[in-house]
Every structure is written in C-alpha cells, then in structure tokens.
C-alpha cells in the first residue's frame, strides 16, 4: 500500500471571500504535484463558496457538532458541512480541547457524526507543554487515539493497528 501525502491548510477564524483567489491559485498549483492530496478548511461561512471556486483540492470543515440537528446555537452539524460541499471535518483541535473542555469522548462522537454523514475525518491529537515536560506526551496521544478510534474500528469490524 502506497501512502499519499495529505496537506491541509486550516484557515481557523481567518479569511474572507477575497481569499478565494488564493484558493484558486492553490487549486491550479496542485497539478504540479499529482502524488499529493491538498485540501483547505476555511471558516464555515466560506465552505460553499470555496467548493464552487476549486475543483482539484478538498474542502473541509474545521469542526462539527456530534448531533445531526437541534438547539445548538452557533454549531454546525456534519450533515450541514456535507450539504455545503465539504469533503471532511477536522475534530479534536488542541484549542477546543483546552478552551472548550472537549473530551476524547466528544471527539469520538464528532468523528462518528462526520463518518455517518459521509465525510472524511481528520483527528487532531497532541499534548500540552506541561504534559510534554512531565514526560506524558506519548501516553496522552495514545489515550486520545484510543478514545477517538478504537470504538470506531471495532464497530466497523476491524482490528486496531499498532
């Protein structure tokens, strides 16, 4: 099995429609690198416009809610991302874990929601500086991976990979 590099730019809470010209330039430039997959994750407000502006690169959402619908003001469901033209969702960002108290269980639920909606998933993992300085980096990342993937792998009838 060959591994294809995947380069994703996450715009975070930056950007406007003016950046679509840069996205089109990135889209055209990917033709020079046929062995590399490229994608952009703009703010939610630009997903549909970016999807219309590009054809060779992926378009993703920076996060999604675990629920498909409901009274979750300001949140975006995986189904809404898919409807807007997204190919994937990124979940588990370190700042969301730290600032919003997102747990491994919440990241797992978001991953499952994205997969159920037909989206690919990128799961972010990583330790804090204190955890790294305390020699806990490997244990923290292993816990995050186990929390996000083992139940999904088991539900799909697969075996975890070392």
State percent of the chain over pLDDT 70. Answer: 91
Q: Are 69 and 117 in contact (CB under 8 A)?
A: no
Q: Are residues 160 and 80 in the same domain?
A: yes
Decide: 98 and 127 in contact? Cβ < 8 Å.
Answer: no
- Residue ending a domain, among 46, 62, 78, is 62
Rounded to the nearest integer, the mean pLDDT of the chain is 90
Beta bridge partners of 41: 10
What is the rounded CA–CA span in Å between residue 46 and residue 110? 21
Domain finish residue from 10, 43, 62: 62
State the CATH number of the domain containing residue 80: 3.20.20.70
What is the domain count for the chain? 2
Confidence of residue 162 (pLDDT cuts 50, 70, 90): very low
Q: Do 146 and 121 fall into the same domain? A: yes
Say yes or no: 38 and 74 in one domain.
no
Domain boundary among 34, 62, 90: 62
Rounded CA-CA distance 150/156 in Å is 10
Segment 109-126 mean pLDDT? 94
Contact 79, 47 (CB under 8 A): no
- Higher-confidence position of 35 and 147: 35
The encoded tokens of residue 70 equal 């409901």
């Amino acid at each position: 099995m060959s591994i294809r590099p995947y380069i994703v730019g996450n715009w975070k809470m930056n950007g406007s429609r003016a950046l679509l010209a840069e996205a089109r330039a990135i889209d055209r430039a990917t033709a020079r690198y046929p062995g590399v997959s490229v994608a952009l994750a703009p703010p939610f407000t630009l997903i549909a416009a970016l999807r219309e502006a590009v054809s060779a690169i992926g378009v993703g959402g920076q996060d999604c809610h675990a629920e498909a619908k409901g009274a979750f003001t300001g949140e975006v469901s995986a189904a809404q991302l898919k409807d807007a033209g997204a190919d994937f969702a990124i979940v588990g960002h370190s700042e969301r874990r730290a600032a919003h108290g997102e747990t491994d269980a919440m990241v797992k639920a978001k991953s499952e929601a994205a997969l159920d909606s037909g989206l690919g998933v990128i799961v972010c993992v990583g330790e804090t500086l204190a955890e790294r300085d305390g020699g806990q980096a490997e244990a923290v990342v292993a816990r995050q991976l186990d929390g996000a993937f083992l139940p999904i792998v088991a539900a799909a009838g697969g075996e975890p990979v070392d």
